[in-house]
Copies of this chain bind each other. A is one copy, B any other.
Amino acid sequence: MDQFNDVDAVHRLLEVADELRNRKTTTNILSGKVVALAFLEPSTRTSCSFSAAAQRLGAGVISMNAQDSSVTKGETLADSMLCLASYADAIVLRHPRLGAAKEAAAAVSKPVINAGDGTGEHPTQALLDLYAIVHETQSRGKTFSESEKLNVTFLGDAKNGRTIHSLSKLLARVMAGKVVFRYVTPAAVDLRMPAELIEKLKAAGVEQTEHNEMSDDIIKATDVLYVTRVQKERFSDAASYEEAMKASFRVTAEVASKMKSDAIIMHPLPRVDEISTDVDSDPRCAYFKQMENGMYVRMALLATVLGALE
Contacts and interface: CB of A to CB of B under 8 A. Distances in A.
Interface of A: 25-28, 31-32, 34, 36, 42-45, 48-49, 51-52, 54-56, 58, 60-64, 67-70, 73-76, 78-80, 82-84, 86-88, 269-272, 277, 288-289, 291-292, 294-295
Given A55-B34, A55-B61, A270 B75 contact: yes
B68 A295 contact: no
B70 A44 contact: yes
Contact of A86 (B51, B270, B272, B292): B292
Given A42-B68, A48-B64, A52-B62, 19 more contacts: A28-B31, A34-B52, A43-B69, A45-B70, A45-B83, A48-B87, A51-B60, A52-B60, A74-B270, A75-B269, A76-B277, A79-B269, A80-B270, A82-B288, A83-B269, A83-B270, A86-B288, A86-B294, A87-B295
A27 B26 CA distance: 15
A17 to B, nearest CB: 14
8 contacts: A26-B32, A27-B32, A28-B32, A34-B55, A45-B69, A55-B61, A86-B289, A86-B291
Contacts of A272: 73-75
Nearest to A64: B44
A44 B44 CA distance: 19
B270 A73 contact: yes
Contacts of A61: 55, 60
B70 A56 contact: no
Nearest to A75: B270
Q: Which of A62, A69, A75, A289 has the most CB of B within 10 A?
A: A62
A52 B37 CA distance: 12
A87 to B, nearest CB: 4
Contacts of A271: 75, 79
Nearest to A292: B86
Shortest beta-carbon contacts, A-B, top 5? A55-B60, A26-B32, A86-B292, A52-B87, A75-B270
A31 B26 CA distance: 7
Nearest to A271: B79
A31 to B, nearest CB: 5
A292 B108 CA distance: 13
Contact of A69 (B31, B42, B62): B42
A239 B295 CA distance: 53
B27 A87 contact: no
A69 B41 CA distance: 10
Contacts of A79: 269-271
A254 to B, nearest CB: 21
Contact of A51 (B32, B48, B62): B62
